[in-house]
C-alpha cells in the first residue's frame, strides 16, 4: 500500500532538490542538505510531516556532438499576438547522458512475451488527443503511450533525458547566465512515428503554438517565460533564453511533450484541435503523429481508441502489438469486465473501491495502489456571479457571487461538512482530510495549519451573524436571496455522487440548500474556446481532483490573479476568481527563488492566506489506484512516475 511517511517525505524532498539544485548552483545558492537532514526535516525552516511523492543527479557530461555548432543568427520568437547536482541519496539520472544517438535511449531489454492486444478500461472518454488543449487526466494517460517527453520522470526520484540527450545542469553546461539560459541537446536519429526527424524545430514550434492566443492552450505557464530560442545549424541544440530566473522551468517546460512541426506547420493553429491529429476523421481514422512507443490508429467515438506499436520508436520497442482503450460506464462495470477478463487494466479507482478490489486479489487481480502526491479532491467556490457576462469579459468588473462573496459564509459551509466522516465511511479510512493545495506534498505543506473543524453549531452561528436567517421552508435567506446554490462534478461517478449527497445532507441541517447539477467530463473539462463549464466559470460550486504534480511546488496557476480565465487569457486555471495582491506578490516571489528554504517560507505564507480566505474546500488527498488482470505484466506504479511511464514494457503472459 502506502510507504512509510518519512521515506516518502525524503523522496519528495530529493525530487525537489534535484530539480532546484542546478538552478541554485547557477545562481550561487546554498548547498543541498544531507540525507539525514532531509529525513529529520532540517531542510525546512518549519517542521513538515506528510505524504509525498514526480525528479536527478547528473554526472558532468562530455561535450555533446552538437554543442559547438554555431546557433543560427536570428533568434526565434513567438508572434506578438499571440555547480552541478550533488549526489543526493539514491536519486540519480538514468541513461547514457554522453551518448548522442537514438540507440542510447534504448536499454536493450528483451520482452518476456511479444504480441497480443491489451484492453484498458476508461470510465471517461478523452476529449482531444493533443496535450496542449486538454486538462483531462484520462487524455494525459492515453497520450503517455503515444508521446515521449523531452525529459522523462522515472520511478525512484530519477530523471532521464528522453528526446533530449541529458538533463541540463551547470556541470554539463546546460544552465548558464545565472539560471537564465538553458542549453539542451536533442538525440541524433530519433524520429516521429511517420519517420520524420525530431529536432529543436519541434520545440520552437511547440512554444510558438502554445503562446499563440488562437490556440486556446490549457496552460501557458513556463512557456511564457521564454524570451527566445536559438537553434544550431543542425537543429539539434537549442539555446533557450528565459526572461528571468524561473525555478519551475524544468518542471513546466523541459518535461513536456512536443508537437510535430512538419505535420502541423501548414495548419491554422485554431484548427489543430479539430484536425485528425487531435480528433477522429472519417471512419474513426486518426493521423496523430507521435513520439512514443505506440501510435494512435483510430478513435471510435463512444466506444474505444486503438493504439498500435510504433515501429519508428527510438526506445525499446513495445512488447504488445496493440492497446485498446475501452470506454465503460463506471467503475462497477469496469470491475465486472476485469473479472470476466474482457479488459486487462482497470483505471482510476477511488479509496472506496479498495475493499472490493482487495477481495479480488485472491482471483489473481493485481491492485496497484500508491500515494498520489499533488492529487487533492476539492470543492471550488465561484467568487463571482456566473450569470454576469463580465465574468468572462473582465472578471475585475464582474458582480460578486450573491452568496460566496462573503468569507464568513464560505467558512461556515466548510465547517458544516463532515469531511472526517466522509473519509471514514465512504473511503474506508484510506484517504486523509486535506488542508491546503500542497497537502500530501512534503516538505512544502504548511503543517501549522489543520483541517477546518466539523462544527455545525458554530457554522450556524456564523451564518446567523452574517444575516442569513432560517425561513419557513428551512432554508436561510438574506435580503431576499435564499442560501441555495448548485454543486457540479463529473457524472457518472458513484463515489463522488455519494459524497455529494452526504454534503447536501450536512448543509441542509444548517439551513443551506445545495442542488446537485452534474456534468459530463467532456463538458466540464472542455477548454475555454470549447465552452467548458469549468474554464468559463459557469457554476456556483464545482468539485474535481487536481493539484500541482510533484515536480515543483509552484501554485501560481491556482491562485494568481493573472490566471483567472477570461476572453483575453483563456489558459487560466484560477476558476474561483480568487484575487489577492499579497498572494500575487508571494507567488511571483516563489518562482524567482531557487533556494528551497526560501521557497518553503514563501509557500507557507501563501497557504496561510488562502486558508484564511477559504476560496476552496479541500476534501481529501487521493491515492492512485488501478487494477490489472492476472495476464498483464510489466506494470510498476510509482508515486513519482505514476503508472504510465513504461507502457512499452507491458506484456501479456498469454497473448490474445
How many angstroms separate the CA atoms of 241 and 22, rounded? 16
* Average pLDDT of the residues of the chain: 85
Per-residue pLDDT tens over the stretch 559-587: 999 999 999 998 889 999 999 999 999 99
Let me know: does 255 contact 149? Beta carbons within 8 Å: yes
The residue ranges of the chain whose pLDDT is under 70 are 1-101, 103, 157, 549-551
Angle between helices 494-508 and 331-340 in degrees, nearest 10? 150
Note the pLDDT of residue 252: 87
CATH architecture for segment(s) 375-623: Roll (3.10)
Q: Are 323 and 306 in contact (CB under 8 A)?
A: yes
Would you list the domain boundaries of the chain? 375-623
Q: Helix or strand or coil: residue 173?
A: coil
Report the pLDDT value the prediction gives residue 255, as an integer from 0 to 100: 94
For residue 317, what is its C-alpha cell?
520497442
Per-residue model confidence (pLDDT) at position 23: 59
Q: Collapsing DSSP states into helix, strand and coil, what is residue 529?
A: coil
Q: Return d(Cα 312, Cα 398) in angstroms, integer.
A: 52
pLDDT in tens, 228-286: 999 999 999 999 999 999 988 998 899 999 999 999 999 999 999 999 999 999 999 99
Reported residue count of the chain is: 656
Q: Which three cell numbers stand for residue 55?
A: 525528479
Residue 108's φ and ψ, nearest 5 degrees, are 85, 10
Cα 151 from Cα 166, distance rounded (Å): 8
pLDDT for the residue 81:
33
State the pLDDT at residue 546: 84
Residue 150, Cβ density class (10 Å: 0-12 exposed, 13-18 middle, ≥19 buried): buried
pLDDT at 25: 53
Query: What is this structure's pTM?
Result: 0.78
Cα separations in angstroms, 160 against 149, 250, 580: 10, 12, 38
Amino acid at each position: 500500500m502506502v510507504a512509510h511517511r518519512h521515506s516518502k517525505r525524503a523522496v519528495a524532498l530529493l525530487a525537489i532538490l534535484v530539480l532546484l539544485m542546478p538552478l541554485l548552483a547557477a545562481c550561487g545558492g546554498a548547498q543541498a542538505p544531507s540525507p539525514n537532514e532531509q529525513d529529520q526535516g532540517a531542510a525546512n525552516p518549519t517542521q513538515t510531516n506528510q505524504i509525498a511523492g514526480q525528479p536527478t543527479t547528473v554526472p558532468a557530461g562530455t561535450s555533446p556532438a552538437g554543442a559547438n555548432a554555431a546557433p543560427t543568427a536570428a533568434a526565434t520568437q513567438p508572434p506578438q499576438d499571440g555547480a552541478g547536482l550533488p549526489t543526493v541519496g539514491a536519486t540519480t539520472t538514468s541513461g547514457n547522458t554522453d551518448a548522442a544517438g537514438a540507440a542510447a535511449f534504448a536499454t536493450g531489454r528483451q520482452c518476456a512475451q511479444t504480441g497480443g492486444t491489451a484492453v484498458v478500461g476508461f470510465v471517461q472518454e478523452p476529449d482531444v488527443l493533443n496535450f496542449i488543449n486538454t486538462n483531462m487526466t484520462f487524455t494525459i494517460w492515453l497520450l503517455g503511450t503515444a508521446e515521449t517527453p523531452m525529459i522523462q520522470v522515472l520511478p525512484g526520484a530519477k530523471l532521464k533525458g528522453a528526446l533530449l540527450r541529458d538533463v541540463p545542469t551547470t556541470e554539463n553546461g546546460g544552465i548558464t547566465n545565472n539560471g537564465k539560459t538553458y542549453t539542451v541537446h536533442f538525440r541524433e536519429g530519433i524520429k516521429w512515428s511517420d519517420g520524420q526527424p525530431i529536432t529543436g524545430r519541434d520545440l520552437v514550434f511547440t512554444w510558438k503554438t502554445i503562446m499563440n492566443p488562437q490556440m486556446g492552450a490549457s496552460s501557458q505557464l513556463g512557456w511564457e517565460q521564454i524570451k527566445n530560442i536559438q537553434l544550431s545549424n543542425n537543429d539539434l541544440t537549442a539555446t533557450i533564453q528565459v526572461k528571468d530566473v524561473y525555478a519551475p522551468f524544468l518542471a513546466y517546460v523541459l518535461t513536456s511533450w512536443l508537437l510535430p512541426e512538419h505535420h502541423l506547420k501548414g495548419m491554422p493553429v485554431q484548427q489543430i484541435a479539430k484536425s485528425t491529429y487531435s480528433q477522429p476523421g472519417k471512419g474513426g481514422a486518426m493521423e496523430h503523429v507521435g513520439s512514443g512507443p505506440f501510435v494512435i490508429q483510430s478513435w471510435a467515438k463512444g466506444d474505444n481508441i486503438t493504439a498500435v506499436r510504433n515501429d519508428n520508436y527510438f526506445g525499446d520497442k513495445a512488447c504488445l502489438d496493440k492497446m485498446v482503450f475501452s470506454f465503460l460506464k463506471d467503475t462497477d462495470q469496469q470491475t465486472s469486465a476485469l473479472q470476466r477478463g474482457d479488459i486487462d487494466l482497470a483505471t482510476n479507482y477511488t479509496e472506496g473501491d479498495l475493499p472490493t478490489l482487495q477481495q479480488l486479489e485472491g482471483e489473481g487481480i493485481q491492485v496497484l495502489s500508491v500515494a498520489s502526491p499533488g492529487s487533492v479532491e476539492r470543492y471550488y467556490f465561484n467568487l463571482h456571479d456566473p450569470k454576469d457576462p463580465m465574468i468572462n469579459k473582465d472578471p475585475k468588473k464582474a458582480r460578486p457571487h450573491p452568496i460566496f462573496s462573503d468569507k464568513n459564509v464560505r467558512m461556515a459551509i466548510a465547517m458544516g461538512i463532515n469531511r472526517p466522516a466522509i473519509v471514514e465511511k465512504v473511503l474506508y479510512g484510506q484517504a486523509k482530510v486535506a488542508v491546503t493545495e500542497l497537502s500530501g506534498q512534503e516538505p512544502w505543506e504548511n503543517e501549522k495549519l489543520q483541517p477546518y473543524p466539523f462544527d455545525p453549531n458554530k457554522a450556524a452561528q456564523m451564518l446567523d451573524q452574517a444575516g442569513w436567517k432560517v425561513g419557513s421552508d428551512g432554508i436561510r435567506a438574506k435580503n431576499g436571496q435564499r442560501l441555495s446554490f448548485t454543486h457540479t462534478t463529473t457524472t457518472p461517478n458513484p463515489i463522488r455522487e455519494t459524497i455529494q449527497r452526504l454534503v447536501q445532507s450536512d448543509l441542509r441541517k444548517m439551513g443551506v440548500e445545495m442542488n446537485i447539477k452534474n456534468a459530463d467530463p467532456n463538458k466540464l473539462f472542455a477548454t475555454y474556446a470549447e465552452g467548458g463549464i469549468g474554464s468559463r466559470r459557469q457554476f456556483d460550486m464545482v468539485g474535481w481532483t487536481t493539484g500541482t504534480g510533484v515536480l515543483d511546488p509552484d501554485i501560481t496557476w491556482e491562485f494568481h490573479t493573472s490566471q483567472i480565465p477570461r476572453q483575453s487569457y483563456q489558459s487560466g486555471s484560477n476558476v474561483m476568481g480568487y484575487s489577492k495582491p499579497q498572494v500575487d506578490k508571494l507567488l511571483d516571489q516563489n518562482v524567482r527563488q531557487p533556494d528551497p528554504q526560501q521557497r518553503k517560507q514563501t509557500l507557507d505564507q501563501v497557504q496561510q492566506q488562502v486558508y484564511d480566505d477559504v476560496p476552496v474546500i479541500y476534501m481529501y488527498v487521493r491515492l492512485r489506484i488501478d487494477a490489472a488482470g492476472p495476464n498483464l505484466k510489466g506494470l510498476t506504479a510509482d508515486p513519482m512516475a505514476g503508472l504510465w511511464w513504461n507502457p512499452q514494457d507491458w506484456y501479456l503472459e498469454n497473448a490474445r
